[in-house]
């Protein structure tokens, strides 16, 4: 049986403010972390922002997640669309291969990315509606 993990919720703005006020007053990281019940790692995570922005920087939690993780450069998307319009019979693998061939055989996009670009531009055929097997008998 695996041990139960402890969940530490995100710190609040009031906790962070108390943490750094106590640290400035006492000079002790341990005392500040004990007073505003947070770990020392949390203190060091917020310290850089506090040094740059002061107390105003502690007010909001900013996500570190990428904002647009699956975006492709507009120039590459334009190349994909142009190849599809020039050669409508080519599929996603052929278009991806032609782009990599033009880039000294270094892949620019994957075949599935080509399909996504073409689907968003409405240049990819839509799947047919599935039909019921058997249907209704009179």
Domain locations along the chain:
13-58, 74-120
Chain mean pLDDT for the chain:
88
Contact between 81 and 119 under an 8 Å Cβ cutoff? The reply is: no
Residues with Cβ < 8 Å from 126, sequence gap 6 or more?
none
Distance CA 127, CA 36 (A): 56
Residues with Cβ < 8 Å from 75, sequence gap 6 or more?
none
pTM over 0.75: no
Token couple for 16? 């962070």
Contact between 23 and 43 under an 8 Å Cβ cutoff? The reply is: yes
Contact between 58 and 49 under an 8 Å Cβ cutoff? The reply is: yes
Q: Note the pLDDT tens digit of each residue in 4-55.
A: 766 667 889 999 999 999 999 999 999 999 999 998 998 999 999 999 999 9
């Amino acid at each position: 049986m695996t041990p139960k993990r402890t969940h530490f919720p995100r710190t609040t703005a009031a906790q962070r403010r108390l943490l750094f006020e106590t640290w400035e007053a006492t000079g002790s990281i341990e005392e500040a972390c004990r007073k505003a019940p947070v770990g020392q790692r949390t203190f060091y995570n917020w310290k850089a922002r506090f040094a740059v922005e002061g107390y105003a920087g502690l007010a909001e939690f900013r996500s570190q997640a990428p904002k647009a993780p699956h975006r492709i450069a507009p120039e590459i998307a334009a190349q994909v669309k142009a190849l599809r319009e020039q050669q409508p019979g080519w599929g996603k693998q052929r278009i991806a291969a032609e782009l990599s061939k033009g880039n000294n055989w270094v892949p620019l996009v994957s075949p599935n990315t080509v399909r996504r670009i073409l689907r968003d531009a409405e240049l990819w055929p839509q799947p047919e509606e599935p039909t019921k097997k058997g249907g209704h008998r009179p």
